[in-house]
Chains A and B, each alone.
Chain A
Amino acid sequence: MIIENEFPPYFEWLLAAGLTPGALWIWLLTNFLLLVAGLLGSFIFLTVRHGPAKSGDLIFKALAGVTDDVVHTSPRRVYALARLAVQEALRRRVLVGFMLFILILLFAGWFLDPGRTDPAKLYLGFVINATSYLVLFLALVLSAFSLPADLQSKTIYTVVTKPVRPSEVVLGRTLGFAAVSTGLLLVMGLFSYVFVVRTLDHAHTLTADDLAPKAPTEKGLVPPNKTGTTARHRHVIKPDQIELLAQEGHAETEPEQGHYHEITAVSRDGETEYRLGPPLGQLRARVPVYGTLMFRDRGGKPAEKGINVGNEWTYHSYIEGGSPAAGIWKFTGVTRDGFPNGIVLELSIRVFRTFKGTIDQPVLGSITLRNPTKPNEPITLKNFRAAEYAIDRHEIPAQFKDANGREIDLFRDVVSDDGELEIEIRCLERSQFYGLARPSVYLLRREGTPWINFAKGYVAIWLQMLLVTAFGVMWSTFLNGPVAMLATLGSIVGGFFVSFLQNLALNKSLGGGPVESVLRISQQKNLTEQLETDVTSAVAVMLDKILRIPLFVVSRILPNFQELNDVNYVADGYNISGDLLAIHLTTGLGYFIPVMLLGFLFFKLREVAK
């Protein structure tokens, strides 16, 4: 699968990885800077109104008050308020959201095409996205409108005249709504999983006629034997499998749309019937072990990267065929205990042809294994034909014969004593290229449980929901309902476009900033056209320069919702690792705490009554 944003192990991420500072320090620094900026801003503002002494006093009181509130927060009161929020939500809006979800699932068939090449990916992506949008929307509505509604109806009067601290009101709401959304998410997740499994489930008919040898076409081509059509596809059954079926009574179909079926022959009343099992291999949770990737250039020298063949997208780096150029992955922790049955190697590489070459044959390459401590004793595993846009599985048993027929013991001869192994991929055809990226080659440690992985994918949605709720409650402490919703929506949308905002803030975006863009639209100029050299353009560019400062701040503050999304892992059938999950959870917490504190502060500083 494509992993564009690679992540380090959890503690490296948190504390430090090489030269990049750990997330924790960045978090602390950002919060510190924001705190200083906030204090300075409010001090200046208040000084204008009340003079420096009073404003210092006010700020100190506010900070002391928030600290006091946090220290004295009572779990029982928070629980009571959270429970109230749950009751309110249940009685008001949640069921509507759930009904909507069921409706969407019911009508999903309209939008989804089961005839796609990978329906499992499509369906998983769909349910996860649908759930996430719905839950986020619900969290948005619940959180943004609740406090304002309470203020409007003045029910809040009877609450805040009890010994309830503002922090408890804010936290209670947030947790209550989060609990509701969590419950909803659980139910939706369950329904989604059942929906996916049930929709993908199908069988094909298979008759003796289907298995009979076909007449060749006028060009002498023999059409393959195929099962009947279900879910808009058929499976080919290869001749050896037909033979196997005749001899042993069971066989397998060829894969189609990412799955295959088992066939069993059953005799009934002297006639043989063929039954196909459920689709297999559709929902997966591969647990990969990634290595580090180094390249060798065409001169045989080590290189950081391969060649760019002119793609705008630089994810894959290319190596030239018929030259010493290679991609070399180094894996650690390859032990006999970890891989008792040998290694399963999976490749997903790209091919770039500079000429058409042999049209009906994929480009040839080779897999070489090497012990890092014995770099001069490479063992050529085999040559292979590239399988583009597919996962190409190669098994390396503990004992195997290499390409020259030598007997090799994997762990004795190939893997180093401390469990290190190098795998080298080369392209063998001259002037053809292989495209490689670090995640293109990995060792398959084991198969995870699909539904657990599915659940892990929902954790990311859960975190998004939690943040939306926190933002919603925070904004609603001082804005009225619709405005709070817009503010929260702005936070979410901004969160989904963080990388775009960062580009804007760093002036890396084509077509300039917002003001310049407006100008371009009005002048009907495209992104790359030169602006006219007049005052208007100059002013626009200058305004954008100023706007970049708030944009920079915002892009650094908002949570990156896109990164908090693991739908690809689930849809592509890859396990979401513990590290990734921990990083997500920590990130979520990192946003939750300051947003809550802000909420406390805002609610404390506002007048509850009008």
Chain B
Amino acid sequence: MNRGALVRKLVYGLLILALLLPLSYFSQPATVAVGNQPNQAGSPGGKLAQLRTQYGISEANLGEIDAAGETIKLATLGLRGVAANILWEKANTAKMKEDWEGMRAALDQLSKLEPHFVIVWRYQAWNVSYNISVEFDDYRQRYFWIKEGIKYLQQGTRYNELEPRLIYDVGWFTAHKMGVADEKKEFRELFRVDDDEEFPAHDRQLRRQDRRDNWLVGQEYFEQAIALVEDREASIHAMNPFVFFSQPAMCQIDYAVALEEDGVFEEKARLGWTDAYDRWIKYGMREVPTSDNLIVRLAEEEAVQERKAKVIAQLEAVEPGLRDKIAGEKRSKLPPEVRAALDTPPESRTEEEHQLVYGASMSILVLHDEVAKRVEKSHREQAQKLAAEANRLEVLENVIHRDRDVVNYNYWRNRCKMEKTESALEARRLIYQAKTDYDLARLVPAQQEYEEAFRHWRKTVDEFPQFIDDTIGAESIHQALAGYADVLKQLNTHIPRDFVLKDVLFSAVRRNPTGMDLDFIRESFEGDPGLRPPGMPPR
């Protein structure tokens, strides 16, 4: 009996040892190199430590272990998932019951328990900055809770140093949550004078007074996130890379807009916009890998188009008229009613004919490969090469075009180019000046400044006609037009019939009648044929 017990104990002991050995091999922590002794270089540690390093979740270097987190993990006795679940539920309940501090405490515990669960950080930080902050009536408290969310994210970046999405979010919250909200004026001002030492996004020790702008700080974070991807090959996972890489430039644009809204012009605004334009162009030159396994530069769409045209022309030149011939053959195979529909000019086609044309569009398409195949044998190889190249360029062009749409590439490029012109800058300045004068009841100077501003704007839209129908940046011009109308009303006159920005005004009326005194505009342009564009409500 005693011998049996002894044997059993020995077997247990050996088993424990057998389990401990690989465990110690796997979990041996990494050590940091000590001072300048070359033979004391830090070891990479066991397998687990190496994996941690590889995935950038390596807070467990000896000496920088987060004791609290480790304690909590231990205290759950392996029921970490259950504990995390309970905490999550607790946070949700606390949020429901408006116990914000309780929720924040639960979040802290949660993140100590599951520090590498990036979704938790992102989701809950969003919860705090976006959902909790709006519960408060006092905008200073709203600002405080936005900051809480940012602080929470930054805590997350310390645990997940190779996670660009968290830093990206820090940038996003700092830039957009502060800078786009209805309270942006107040938030930006609070941000500027914030002396919270616990708010790393602000970091007043290191940042110059004039750099303490939420857009610029956000920009820095976006750049950090990009640096992680560039230098340390971190993954942005399912995030759209074009959106991801566009952020620093977008921040610059928003910064420049914000400057002008704050009434800062002259050199600073010019520099702001010039920088924005440069950054946007640079962004266009960046090589970005797409989901189609292509590497793309947004700026290259025109160049690709040009090259494609050239290649197609070469292909045509191999055996001129071949493409038309093939097209003719394809067409002749179609049923007569379809051919008839095709022959009808598009504007006079019936609904039925439209459908027929649509159905036939694929069958009359002549592919480059088809052309190349029919080329005379001696030139066929060359033609096939050209066709392949044309196809490749076509795909590339489509991809670039699609991705340009995602980030509105063309618009922002033109906008920056437009805004940095002297006339645009001057127009913006004058409008701001006019608004200020109007608020101070200086009506005549306001009218003069508005008209001067509109002359400058005329110059701008002549140069950049696409901004007549601008949808994104037009709000300020629309407001200016409405403000101008107000000034004139008070001065008891009307908008001159030869108003320099008549087209812009009518476009604005077409788009967005709210805030504009339509009656007043109608009075001013009684009988003008452009006055009743589609969409304008009748009298």
List A residues at the B interface (Cβ < 8 Å): 2, 107, 110-111, 113, 115-118, 121-122, 217-219, 221, 223, 226, 229, 232, 234, 312-313, 315, 350-351, 353, 356, 359-360, 362-363, 386-389
User: Does the CB pair A113–B108 fall under 8 Å?
Assistant: yes
**What residues on A are CB-neighbors of B138 within 8 Å?**
362, 387-388
Which residues of chain A have C-beta atoms less than 8 A from B98's C-beta?
313, 350, 389
Interface residues as binary, B194-214 with A (CB distance below 8 Å gives 1, 0 otherwise): 010110000000000110000
Contacts of A356 in B (CB 8 A): 182-183
Instruction: Quote the shortest CB–CB distance from B79 to chain A (angstroms).
Output: 13
A219 touching B136 by the CB < 8 A rule?
Answer: no
Q: Which residues of B contact A221 (CB under 8 A)?
A: 189, 193
Q: Which residues of A contact B109 (CB under 8 A)?
A: 111
Q: Which residue of A lies closest to B137 (CB)?
A: A351
Contact of A315 (CB < 8 Å), options: B97, B108, B186, B189: B97
Residue B141 at the A interface, CB < 8 A?
yes
Q: Which of B97, B137, B209, B262 contacts A353 (CB 8 A)?
A: B137
B101 touches A118 (CB 8 A): yes
Closest to B197 in A: A229
Q: B183 contacts which chain A residues (CB < 8 A)?
A: 356, 359
Nearest opposing residue in chain A for B109, CB measure: A111
- Report the number of A-B residue pairs with Cβ-Cβ less than 8 Å: 67
Q: A110-B68, A223-B193 are in contact. Are A389 and B182 (CB under 8 A)?
A: no
Min CB distance B198 to A, Å, is 6
Partner of B198, one of A115, A122, A359, A388: A115
Cβ of B139: which chain A residues have Cβ within 8 Å of it?
359-360
CA distance A360 to B182 in the complex (A): 11
A-B contact pairs, 5 of them (CB 8 A): A122-B101, A219-B262, A312-B96, A313-B97, A360-B139
Whether A389 contacts B100 by the Cβ 8 Å rule is: yes
Q: Helix, strand, loop or mixed for chain B's interface? A: helix
Question: Is B67 an interface residue, CB under 8 A from the partner?
Answer: yes
Chain B residues within an 8 Å CB radius of A219:
189, 192, 262
Interface centre among A313, A350, A389 (most CB of B within 10 A): A389
Residue B295 is within 8 A (CB to CB) of chain A in the complex? no
Does the CB pair A386–B137 fall under 8 Å? yes
* Residues of A contacting B189 in the complex (Cβ-Cβ under 8 angstroms): 219, 221
Q: Kindly report which residue of chain B lies nearest to residue A2, judged by CB atoms.
A: B97
Residues of chain B within 8 A of A313, CB atoms compared: 96-98
Q: Shortest beta-carbon distance, B193 to chain A, in Å?
A: 6
Whether the pair B186, A360 counts as a contact (CB closer than 8 A) is yes
A389 near B136: Cβ-Cβ < 8 Å: yes
**A116/B101 in contact, CB under 8 A:** yes
Cβ contact within 8 Å between B193 and A122: no
Residue among A351, A353, A359 making CB contact with B186, cutoff 8 Å: A359
Q: Is A110's CB under 8 angstroms from B192's CB?
A: no
Across the interface, do A232 and B198 meet the contact criterion of CB distance under 8 Å? yes
Q: Can you name the residue of chain B whose Cβ is closest to the Cβ of A351? A: B137
When C-beta atoms are compared, the residue in chain B nearest to A312 turns out to be B96
Chain B 312-350: CB-based contact to A (< 8 A → 1; otherwise 0): 000000000000000000000000000000000000000
Of A107, A117, A350, A386, which contacts B101 at CB under 8 A?
A117
User: B104: CB under 8 A from chain A?
Assistant: yes
Q: Top 4 nearest A-B pairs by Cβ distance?
A: A351-B137, A110-B68, A388-B137, A356-B182
B198–A218 touching, CB < 8 Å: no
User: In this assembly, does B14 line the interface, its C-beta being within 8 Å of a C-beta of chain A?
Assistant: no
B37: min CB distance to chain A, Å? 33
List 14 extra interface pairs beyond A111-B68, A359-B139, CB under 8 A. Answer: A2-B99, A110-B68, A122-B101, A218-B209, A219-B262, A223-B193, A232-B197, A234-B195, A350-B98, A351-B137, A359-B182, A387-B138, A388-B136, A389-B136
Contact residues of B between 34 and 48, Cβ < 8 Å to A: none
Q: How far is it, in angstroms, between the C-alpha of A315 and the C-alpha of B96 when the chains are bound?
A: 10
